[in-house]
Amino acid sequence: MLACALAPVATGAQEATYPLPSYDVNLIDRSLMFSYSEPIDIASDYTQYAAFLAPSVFALAAPTEDWLGIGAMYAGSAMISFATGTLLKAVIERERPYMYFDDPPASAIADGDYIDSFPSRHSIMAFTGAAFTATLFKERYPDSPYRVPAVVAAYALAGVTAGLRVGSGSHFLTDVAGGAAIGTFFGFIVPFASSRLGWLD
């Protein structure tokens, strides 16, 4: 099912020819394909950074003696998430949606970024921040007055980031869905495991 949804993901790209035929794209992704938009692309950078920095709320919600442990946990989550996204991009070649339209960004073609569509690393990092924030609040500071607004804001920013990545023509829907799943998993598992193993104490 996944192989079908991502086809053609790993077919390879020997040279940058465009526009590519849209019939090669699965029906799910074909329904939300856009040409490249630099303003939307730039906006997604800012929302990604904001979502990724969501755990900074623990500077207010957590006592100072917890800061080092929280920082170490988040660094672990972020590094694993980033490494996973980088590895997948290295082994999976998938042309970005803007390659199915006229006038894709020349710089992306020149540096080979046009075949790095899956997964969306912006979505990975944004959802890592959101999931880490939500999980740590639940495990460590469930009664904090910052919990609800921080978690809602983090997931809203992550969702907007994913939407902007699709709207900018940089990613397909399945790219951002895969990125959201990866980021959510690693954003969740590190603080959850730390709590269950007693490392938070």
Q: pLDDT grade, residue 15 (50/70/90)?
A: low
Residue 125, classified by CB atoms within 10 Å of its CB into exposed (0-12), middle (13-18) or buried (19+), is buried
Query: From the CA atom positions of the chain, what is the Rg in Å?
Result: 18
Indicate the angle between helix axes 121-140 and 147-167, nearest 10 degrees: 170
Using CA atoms, how far apart are residues 116 and 72, in angstroms rounded to an integer?
A: 29
Residue 1, pLDDT > 80, answer no
Q: Which of 15-19, 101-105, 137-141, 156-160 has the lowest mean pLDDT?
A: 15-19
Q: pLDDT grade, residue 10 (50/70/90)?
A: very low
pLDDT of 148 reads 98
Tell me the average pLDDT across 164-184.
98
**Among candidate residues 173, 172, 167, the one with its CA nearest the CA of residue 35:** 167
Q: pLDDT grade, residue 2 (50/70/90)?
A: very low
Q: pLDDT grade, residue 199 (50/70/90)?
A: confident
Q: What is the DSSP track for 54-116?
A: GGGGHHHHS-GGGHHHHHHHHHHHHHHHHHHHHHHHHH--B--GGGGSSS--HHHHHHTGGGB
Per residue in 97-144, pLDDT (tens digit) is: 999 999 899 999 999 999 999 999 999 999 999 999 999 999 999 999
Tell me the average pLDDT across 19-44.
95
pLDDT of 12 reads 42
Residue 5, pLDDT > 90, answer no
All structural domains of the chain with their residue ranges: 35-196
Rounded to 5 degrees, what are φ and ψ at 116? -110, 40
% pLDDT > 70, the chain: 92
Which residues, 6+ apart, have CB-to-CB distance to 30 below 8 Å?
22
